[in-house]
Amino acid sequence: MPAEQLAEVSDLFILAAVLLYLLAMIGFALDLAFGQVRAGTVATRARQPVAVGAGGGDEPPVQAGADVPADAGSAAPRWASKAALVALLLGWGAWAANLTAIVTRGLAVERWPWANMYEFVVAICFAAATAFLGTHLRYNVRFLGPFVMLAAALGLGFAVKFLYTAAGPVVPALNSYWIAIHVSAAILASGLFVLAGVTGILYLVRGDGLSRLPSREYLERVAHRAIVLAFPVWTFAVIAGALWADKAWGRYWGWDPKEVWSFITWVAYAAYLHARVTAGWRGRKATIVQLIALACLLFNLVGVNIFISGLHSYADVG
Protein backbone atom coordinates (compact mmCIF):
# COMPACT_ATOMS: atom_id res chain seq x y z
CA MET A 1 0.00 0.00 0.00
CA PRO A 2 1.40 3.46 -0.90
CA ALA A 3 2.60 5.70 1.91
CA GLU A 4 -0.17 8.24 1.28
CA GLN A 5 -2.86 5.60 1.70
CA LEU A 6 -1.22 4.23 4.84
CA ALA A 7 -1.22 7.73 6.31
CA GLU A 8 -4.93 8.10 5.49
CA VAL A 9 -5.65 4.71 7.09
CA SER A 10 -3.80 5.86 10.20
CA ASP A 11 -5.93 9.02 10.38
CA LEU A 12 -9.12 6.97 10.04
CA PHE A 13 -8.09 4.64 12.85
CA ILE A 14 -7.41 7.67 15.06
CA LEU A 15 -11.00 8.80 14.52
CA ALA A 16 -12.23 5.26 15.20
CA ALA A 17 -10.19 5.17 18.40
CA VAL A 18 -11.71 8.47 19.58
CA LEU A 19 -15.23 7.14 18.98
CA LEU A 20 -14.53 3.84 20.73
CA TYR A 21 -12.86 5.55 23.68
CA LEU A 22 -15.94 7.75 24.10
CA LEU A 23 -18.31 4.78 23.90
CA ALA A 24 -16.19 2.89 26.41
CA MET A 25 -16.26 5.93 28.68
CA ILE A 26 -20.08 5.92 28.60
CA GLY A 27 -20.18 2.22 29.45
CA PHE A 28 -17.74 2.59 32.34
CA ALA A 29 -19.64 5.65 33.57
CA LEU A 30 -22.91 3.68 33.63
CA ASP A 31 -21.19 0.93 35.58
CA LEU A 32 -19.76 3.47 38.04
CA ALA A 33 -23.06 5.32 38.44
CA PHE A 34 -25.36 2.34 38.81
CA GLY A 35 -23.01 -0.36 40.04
CA GLN A 36 -22.42 -1.40 43.61
CA VAL A 37 -21.77 1.24 46.29
CA ARG A 38 -18.30 0.89 47.77
CA ALA A 39 -16.96 1.15 51.31
CA GLY A 40 -15.88 4.43 52.81
CA THR A 41 -12.68 4.99 54.69
CA VAL A 42 -14.41 5.52 58.03
CA ALA A 43 -15.30 2.29 59.81
CA THR A 44 -19.01 2.07 60.50
CA ARG A 45 -20.40 0.98 63.81
CA ALA A 46 -22.86 -1.87 63.53
CA ARG A 47 -25.09 -3.39 66.15
CA GLN A 48 -25.25 -6.61 64.14
CA PRO A 49 -22.54 -6.36 61.45
CA VAL A 50 -23.13 -8.32 58.30
CA ALA A 51 -20.43 -8.47 55.65
CA VAL A 52 -21.49 -7.05 52.30
CA GLY A 53 -19.13 -7.41 49.33
CA ALA A 54 -17.52 -4.16 48.21
CA GLY A 55 -16.61 -5.52 44.79
CA GLY A 56 -13.20 -3.89 44.59
CA GLY A 57 -9.96 -5.84 44.47
CA ASP A 58 -8.31 -6.18 47.88
CA GLU A 59 -10.53 -3.54 49.45
CA PRO A 60 -12.21 -4.63 52.71
CA PRO A 61 -15.95 -5.32 52.66
CA VAL A 62 -18.57 -2.91 53.93
CA GLN A 63 -20.09 -3.64 57.30
CA ALA A 64 -23.83 -3.06 57.18
CA GLY A 65 -25.18 -1.50 60.35
CA ALA A 66 -26.86 1.49 61.97
CA ASP A 67 -24.74 4.07 60.11
CA VAL A 68 -25.07 2.46 56.67
CA PRO A 69 -28.02 3.02 54.31
CA ALA A 70 -30.17 -0.03 53.74
CA ASP A 71 -29.26 -0.25 50.05
CA ALA A 72 -25.49 -0.03 50.63
CA GLY A 73 -23.70 -2.86 48.87
CA SER A 74 -26.89 -4.15 47.28
CA ALA A 75 -26.56 -6.01 44.04
CA ALA A 76 -26.26 -3.82 40.96
CA PRO A 77 -28.79 -4.15 38.12
CA ARG A 78 -27.94 -6.82 35.59
CA TRP A 79 -27.65 -4.32 32.79
CA ALA A 80 -25.00 -2.41 34.79
CA SER A 81 -22.73 -5.45 34.87
CA LYS A 82 -23.34 -5.95 31.15
CA ALA A 83 -22.46 -2.30 30.55
CA ALA A 84 -19.15 -2.89 32.33
CA LEU A 85 -18.37 -5.87 30.10
CA VAL A 86 -19.31 -3.99 26.92
CA ALA A 87 -17.25 -1.00 28.07
CA LEU A 88 -14.24 -3.23 28.63
CA LEU A 89 -14.59 -4.73 25.16
CA LEU A 90 -14.96 -1.26 23.65
CA GLY A 91 -11.89 -0.14 25.58
CA TRP A 92 -9.84 -2.96 24.10
CA GLY A 93 -11.28 -2.12 20.67
CA ALA A 94 -10.19 1.50 21.08
CA TRP A 95 -6.78 0.29 22.23
CA ALA A 96 -6.46 -1.85 19.09
CA ALA A 97 -7.55 1.04 16.84
CA ASN A 98 -5.04 3.34 18.54
CA LEU A 99 -2.28 0.76 18.08
CA THR A 100 -3.21 0.24 14.43
CA ALA A 101 -3.07 4.00 13.85
CA ILE A 102 0.44 4.10 15.31
CA VAL A 103 1.64 1.10 13.28
CA THR A 104 0.21 2.33 9.97
CA ARG A 105 1.67 5.79 10.61
CA GLY A 106 5.06 4.18 11.18
CA LEU A 107 4.76 2.17 7.96
CA ALA A 108 3.77 5.31 6.07
CA VAL A 109 6.79 7.32 7.22
CA GLU A 110 9.18 4.34 7.47
CA ARG A 111 10.43 5.32 10.92
CA TRP A 112 9.40 5.16 14.57
CA PRO A 113 6.10 7.07 14.67
CA TRP A 114 6.69 9.46 17.55
CA ALA A 115 9.02 12.09 16.13
CA ASN A 116 6.67 15.09 16.40
CA MET A 117 4.11 16.35 18.89
CA TYR A 118 1.13 14.84 17.07
CA GLU A 119 2.64 11.36 16.98
CA PHE A 120 3.94 11.68 20.53
CA VAL A 121 0.55 12.61 22.01
CA VAL A 122 -1.12 9.77 20.08
CA ALA A 123 1.43 7.38 21.58
CA ILE A 124 0.89 8.76 25.12
CA CYS A 125 -2.88 8.23 24.81
CA PHE A 126 -2.15 4.66 23.79
CA ALA A 127 0.21 4.23 26.74
CA ALA A 128 -2.38 5.56 29.21
CA ALA A 129 -5.02 3.18 27.85
CA THR A 130 -2.52 0.33 27.98
CA ALA A 131 -1.67 1.14 31.61
CA PHE A 132 -5.35 1.10 32.57
CA LEU A 133 -6.33 -2.03 30.65
CA GLY A 134 -3.16 -3.84 31.71
CA THR A 135 -3.71 -2.96 35.36
CA HIS A 136 -7.31 -4.14 35.11
CA LEU A 137 -6.08 -7.60 34.17
CA ARG A 138 -4.64 -7.90 37.69
CA TYR A 139 -6.60 -5.47 39.86
CA ASN A 140 -10.19 -4.28 39.89
CA VAL A 141 -9.69 -0.71 38.65
CA ARG A 142 -12.86 -0.46 36.56
CA PHE A 143 -13.70 2.75 38.42
CA LEU A 144 -10.87 4.44 36.49
CA GLY A 145 -12.47 3.55 33.17
CA PRO A 146 -14.63 6.66 32.61
CA PHE A 147 -11.75 9.01 33.39
CA VAL A 148 -8.92 7.27 31.54
CA MET A 149 -11.09 6.65 28.47
CA LEU A 150 -12.17 10.31 28.46
CA ALA A 151 -8.57 11.47 28.85
CA ALA A 152 -7.48 9.28 25.92
CA ALA A 153 -10.33 10.54 23.72
CA LEU A 154 -9.63 14.18 24.58
CA GLY A 155 -5.91 13.67 24.05
CA LEU A 156 -6.44 12.21 20.58
CA GLY A 157 -8.94 14.93 19.75
CA PHE A 158 -6.47 17.61 20.86
CA ALA A 159 -3.73 16.01 18.77
CA VAL A 160 -5.90 15.90 15.64
CA LYS A 161 -7.28 19.43 16.07
CA PHE A 162 -4.20 21.36 17.18
CA LEU A 163 -1.09 19.23 16.68
CA TYR A 164 -1.69 17.36 13.45
CA THR A 165 1.39 17.01 11.26
CA ALA A 166 1.27 15.38 7.84
CA ALA A 167 3.24 12.15 7.51
CA GLY A 168 6.74 12.85 6.27
CA PRO A 169 10.46 12.73 6.99
CA VAL A 170 12.11 14.16 10.09
CA VAL A 171 15.29 16.09 10.81
CA PRO A 172 18.52 14.05 10.78
CA ALA A 173 18.86 14.20 14.59
CA LEU A 174 15.76 12.03 14.89
CA ASN A 175 16.93 9.38 12.43
CA SER A 176 18.49 7.31 15.17
CA TYR A 177 17.83 4.08 17.00
CA TRP A 178 17.81 6.18 20.18
CA ILE A 179 14.29 7.33 19.40
CA ALA A 180 13.13 3.75 19.93
CA ILE A 181 14.91 3.65 23.30
CA HIS A 182 14.59 7.13 24.80
CA VAL A 183 11.16 8.17 23.52
CA SER A 184 9.59 4.74 24.02
CA ALA A 185 10.64 4.76 27.67
CA ALA A 186 9.27 8.29 28.11
CA ILE A 187 5.95 7.25 26.57
CA LEU A 188 5.63 4.17 28.79
CA ALA A 189 6.42 6.10 31.95
CA SER A 190 4.08 8.92 30.97
CA GLY A 191 1.18 6.50 30.53
CA LEU A 192 1.68 5.16 34.05
CA PHE A 193 2.09 8.66 35.49
CA VAL A 194 -1.19 9.72 33.85
CA LEU A 195 -2.93 6.70 35.36
CA ALA A 196 -1.57 7.65 38.79
CA GLY A 197 -2.64 11.26 38.26
CA VAL A 198 -6.23 10.31 37.41
CA THR A 199 -6.33 8.15 40.54
CA GLY A 200 -4.92 11.01 42.61
CA ILE A 201 -7.61 13.41 41.40
CA LEU A 202 -10.27 10.86 42.34
CA TYR A 203 -8.65 10.60 45.77
CA LEU A 204 -9.07 14.35 46.31
CA VAL A 205 -12.69 14.51 45.13
CA ARG A 206 -13.85 11.40 46.99
CA GLY A 207 -15.84 12.14 50.12
CA ASP A 208 -15.99 10.20 53.36
CA GLY A 209 -18.56 7.48 53.95
CA LEU A 210 -20.19 5.48 51.19
CA SER A 211 -19.19 6.17 47.64
CA ARG A 212 -19.18 4.51 44.26
CA LEU A 213 -15.42 4.93 44.30
CA PRO A 214 -13.11 2.68 46.31
CA SER A 215 -11.74 3.87 49.62
CA ARG A 216 -9.11 6.57 49.66
CA GLU A 217 -6.58 4.04 50.92
CA TYR A 218 -7.21 1.86 47.89
CA LEU A 219 -6.99 4.83 45.50
CA GLU A 220 -3.71 5.93 47.04
CA ARG A 221 -2.34 2.41 46.81
CA VAL A 222 -3.16 2.18 43.08
CA ALA A 223 -1.53 5.57 42.39
CA HIS A 224 1.57 4.68 44.39
CA ARG A 225 2.08 1.38 42.61
CA ALA A 226 1.80 3.06 39.22
CA ILE A 227 4.41 5.67 40.19
CA VAL A 228 6.75 3.04 41.62
CA LEU A 229 6.65 1.28 38.25
CA ALA A 230 6.94 4.47 36.20
CA PHE A 231 9.73 6.25 38.07
CA PRO A 232 12.63 3.94 37.14
CA VAL A 233 11.41 3.92 33.53
CA TRP A 234 11.40 7.74 33.49
CA THR A 235 14.87 7.71 35.07
CA PHE A 236 16.06 5.46 32.27
CA ALA A 237 14.46 7.78 29.70
CA VAL A 238 16.33 10.79 31.10
CA ILE A 239 19.64 8.90 31.06
CA ALA A 240 19.01 7.59 27.54
CA GLY A 241 18.18 11.14 26.43
CA ALA A 242 21.53 12.34 27.76
CA LEU A 243 23.34 9.59 25.87
CA TRP A 244 21.44 10.47 22.70
CA ALA A 245 22.29 14.17 23.18
CA ASP A 246 25.99 13.30 23.37
CA LYS A 247 25.73 11.35 20.14
CA ALA A 248 23.68 14.03 18.33
CA TRP A 249 25.11 17.27 19.73
CA GLY A 250 28.38 16.29 21.39
CA ARG A 251 27.31 16.91 24.99
CA TYR A 252 25.32 15.01 27.59
CA TRP A 253 23.57 18.01 29.13
CA GLY A 254 23.04 21.51 27.81
CA TRP A 255 20.22 22.94 29.94
CA ASP A 256 17.85 22.91 27.00
CA PRO A 257 14.26 23.63 28.20
CA LYS A 258 13.14 20.06 27.50
CA GLU A 259 16.11 18.67 29.42
CA VAL A 260 15.45 21.04 32.33
CA TRP A 261 11.77 20.14 32.60
CA SER A 262 12.50 16.43 32.26
CA PHE A 263 14.81 16.81 35.25
CA ILE A 264 12.24 18.91 37.16
CA THR A 265 9.67 16.17 36.55
CA TRP A 266 12.12 13.56 37.80
CA VAL A 267 12.81 15.61 40.94
CA ALA A 268 9.07 16.09 41.60
CA TYR A 269 8.32 12.37 41.46
CA ALA A 270 11.47 11.60 43.44
CA ALA A 271 10.21 14.04 46.09
CA TYR A 272 6.89 12.17 46.21
CA LEU A 273 8.60 8.81 46.73
CA HIS A 274 11.12 10.25 49.18
CA ALA A 275 8.40 11.91 51.25
CA ARG A 276 6.51 8.63 51.54
CA VAL A 277 9.57 6.63 52.57
CA THR A 278 11.37 9.04 54.90
CA ALA A 279 8.71 11.45 56.19
CA GLY A 280 5.88 8.96 56.11
CA TRP A 281 3.69 11.21 54.01
CA ARG A 282 0.39 9.61 53.10
CA GLY A 283 -3.02 10.70 52.00
CA ARG A 284 -3.75 14.23 50.87
CA LYS A 285 -0.22 15.64 51.22
CA ALA A 286 1.38 12.86 49.18
CA THR A 287 -1.39 13.07 46.58
CA ILE A 288 -0.89 16.81 46.12
CA VAL A 289 2.85 16.27 45.58
CA GLN A 290 2.24 13.65 42.91
CA LEU A 291 -0.28 15.90 41.15
CA ILE A 292 2.26 18.73 41.12
CA ALA A 293 4.66 16.23 39.55
CA LEU A 294 1.99 15.34 36.98
CA ALA A 295 1.61 19.04 36.11
CA CYS A 296 5.38 19.23 35.55
CA LEU A 297 5.18 16.14 33.35
CA LEU A 298 2.35 17.52 31.20
CA PHE A 299 4.10 20.86 30.77
CA ASN A 300 7.29 19.03 29.81
CA LEU A 301 5.49 16.85 27.26
CA VAL A 302 3.35 19.54 25.64
CA GLY A 303 3.92 23.01 27.04
CA VAL A 304 7.67 23.18 26.46
CA ASN A 305 7.27 22.35 22.77
CA ILE A 306 4.49 24.90 22.27
CA PHE A 307 5.65 27.84 24.39
CA ILE A 308 9.45 27.54 24.67
CA SER A 309 11.94 27.28 21.82
CA GLY A 310 14.99 25.08 22.13
CA LEU A 311 16.89 22.23 20.57
CA HIS A 312 13.79 20.04 20.91
CA SER A 313 11.64 22.46 18.91
CA TYR A 314 11.93 20.14 15.91
CA ALA A 315 8.88 18.37 17.39
CA ASP A 316 6.55 20.24 15.04
CA VAL A 317 3.23 21.63 16.22
CA GLY A 318 0.81 21.57 13.31
Count the Cβ atoms, other than its own, within 10 Å of residue 103: 15
pLDDT at 304: 81
29, pLDDT greater than 90: yes
pLDDT at 101: 96
Q: Longest C-alpha distance within the chain, in Å?
A: 73
Least confident of 38-47, 148-157, 287-296: 38-47
| Closest to 45 (Cα-Cα) out of 68, 27, 22 | 68
170, pLDDT greater than 60: yes
Q: Give me the mean pLDDT over the 153-161 stretch.
A: 94
pLDDT digits (tens, 9 = 90+) for 3-19: 888 999 999 999 999 99
CB distance 144 to 191 below 8 Å: no
Residues in Cβ contact with 250 at an 8 Å cutoff, skipping those fewer than 6 apart = none
What average pLDDT is seen over the chain? 82
Q: Which residue has the higher pLDDT, 68 or 160?
A: 160
Q: Distance (Å, rounded) from C-alpha 88 to C-alpha 81?
A: 11
Residue 234 phi/psi, 5° resolution? Answer: -65, -40
69, pLDDT greater than 50: no
40, pLDDT greater than 60: no
Q: Give me the mean pLDDT over the 176-198 stretch.
A: 90
pLDDT confidence tier of residue 274, bands split at 50, 70 and 90: very high
pLDDT at 176: 77
Q: Three-state SS across 2-67?
A: CHHHHHHHHHHHHHHHHHHHHHHHHHHHHHHHHCCCECCCCCCCCCCCEEECCCCCCCCCEEECCC
What is residue 211's three-state secondary structure?
A: strand
Q: Give me the mean pLDDT over the 52-64 stretch.
A: 38
Count the Cβ atoms, other than its own, within 10 Å of residue 308: 15
pLDDT confidence tier of residue 43, bands split at 50, 70 and 90: very low
Count the Cβ atoms, other than its own, within 10 Å of residue 10: 23
pLDDT digits (tens, 9 = 90+) for 240-268: 988 988 887 788 887 888 889 999 999 99
64, pLDDT greater than 70: no
Q: Give me the mean pLDDT over the 196-203 stretch.
A: 94
Reported as type and span, the H/E element at residue 103 is helix 78-109
pLDDT at 91: 96
pLDDT at 157: 95
Q: What is the pTM of this model?
A: 0.80
